[in-house]
Amino acid sequence: MKFTVQPWAPDYGSPGGAEDLEGPEANVDVEVEAARWAPIRVQVDAAPEVLFVDGVRRIDANLWIEEDDGTPMLALAASYAAGAVLCNHSAEIVGMEVRRGIFTAATGAAPIETKHARYDVHPTTGVAPEELWLGLQQRMGELEGMVAAARADAPLIVVDGPLSHRRHVAGAVGYIKTQHVQYLPPNLRPILGKLGPGDRTPLFLTTTSWSRFSWYQKLPLIGAGPMDGIVRAEMTADHDVSSARRTADLTAATLSKFASAGHKDPRAPQNLYPIGGLERRLHHLLGDRDLMYRSLRVAASLLSLP
């Protein structure tokens, strides 16, 4: 397989996390009728044990793979990792995995061996950068599910980010730190500014390619505005409303224990301490990107030698 490495910085042109400002229409009468919506003060104890799962990914290089007829096809050479940290009376990392791959729709793609790592081929259905990125996201989600499955007996499993490709993790709760999308109708949005630390909203149901129960909750934050510390959580709608309510209460009671402080984390309080620590370890495991980039260029140059 003949390929070349783009001289641009690997992040150039990589899709970001932008989302539409308006989410899918929500059914807000799931737990409480819309007319009776108000902050819910949770009255349950925090989970005695919680498993936090997270993944990180990085584009090491943008590639052009040459097909047999000479057509150049875009590819991403990427590294990704997933891990889990179990928190009870202490915090312990209970699993970490690292993978590297070539994400492309090129039919002639083959694994790339470099001095420092092997990149296996992960075919994608599209050729646009966004579609290649989605292929990377899916593989990272699958790896997170594999890591989480080893400790799926935890009373609460929190996956950092939307469930999406991670929804196969039984009983998992997706934890969304930033709120770029509006899911609630305009008449119910003021409730978010009325939530106190540890409070949550009633459940609401949304459906895209899959159905989920969601709720908002507020983490503790000193000297904050009304919308600071607001996070959204979600779980699959494969559960009944009573089960979803219990999970929402347990999640709201538990996550406040792990909220970060501003003097320790600039993304406080949403970047929970266990997730922040796990992210740092996982990024370290990915290795040095400049080194991986240079090794890919060397591998490409060796293929072009007569």
Mapped to the 3 state alphabet, what secondary structure does the chain carry?
Answer: CCEEECCCCCCCCCCCCCCCCECCCCECCCCCCHHHCCCEECCCCCCCCEEEEEEEEEEEEEEEEECCCCCEEEEEEEEEEEEEEEECCCEEEEEEEEEEEEEECCCCCCCEECCCCEEEEEECCCCCHHHHHHHHHHHHHHHHHHHHHCCCCCCEEEEEECCHHHCCCCCEEEEECCCCCECCCHHHHHHHHHCCCCEECCCEEEECCCEEEEEEEECCCCCCCCCCCEEEEEEECCCCHHHHHHHHHHHHHHHHHHCCCCCCCCCCCCCCHHHHHHHHHHHHHHCCHHHHHHHHHHHHHHHCCC
The closest of 125, 163, 120, 117 to 142, measured between CA atoms, is 163
Q: Using one digit for the tens of pLDDT, what is the confidence trace for 174-186?
A: 999 988 888 999 9
Establish if 277 belongs to a structural domain. yes
Q: Quick one: what percent of the chain has pLDDT higher than 90?
A: 74
Establish if 14 belongs to a structural domain. no
Establish if 67 belongs to a structural domain. yes
Residue 280 has pLDDT above 50, yes or no: yes
Q: According to the model, what pLDDT value does residue 306 have?
A: 53
Cα separation, 169 vs 92, in Å, equals 20
Residue that wins the pLDDT comparison between 227 and 243: 243
Question: For residue 143, what are the domain limits?
Answer: 3-9+19-303
Q: How many domains does the chain have?
A: 1
Establish if 125 belongs to a structural domain. yes
Establish if 98 belongs to a structural domain. yes
* Cis ω before 48 (30° cut-off from 0): no
23 falls in which pLDDT band (50, 70, 90)? confident
Residue 17 has pLDDT above 60, yes or no: no
The closest of 206, 226, 228, 225 to 215, measured between CA atoms, is 206
24 falls in which pLDDT band (50, 70, 90)? confident
Residue 263 has pLDDT above 80, yes or no: no
Cα separation, 199 vs 112, in Å, equals 50
Establish if 76 belongs to a structural domain. yes
Ranges 56-60, 133-137, 165-169, 278-282: which has the least confidence = 165-169
Q: According to the model, what pLDDT value does residue 227 have?
A: 77
304 falls in which pLDDT band (50, 70, 90)? low
Establish if 141 belongs to a structural domain. yes
Q: Quick one: what percent of the chain has pLDDT higher than 70?
A: 93
Q: According to the model, what pLDDT value does residue 20 have?
A: 46
Q: According to the model, what pLDDT value does residue 49 have?
A: 96
Residue 16 has pLDDT above 80, yes or no: no
Residue that wins the pLDDT comparison between 228 and 156: 156
Q: According to the model, what pLDDT value does residue 223 have?
A: 63
Establish if 214 belongs to a structural domain. yes
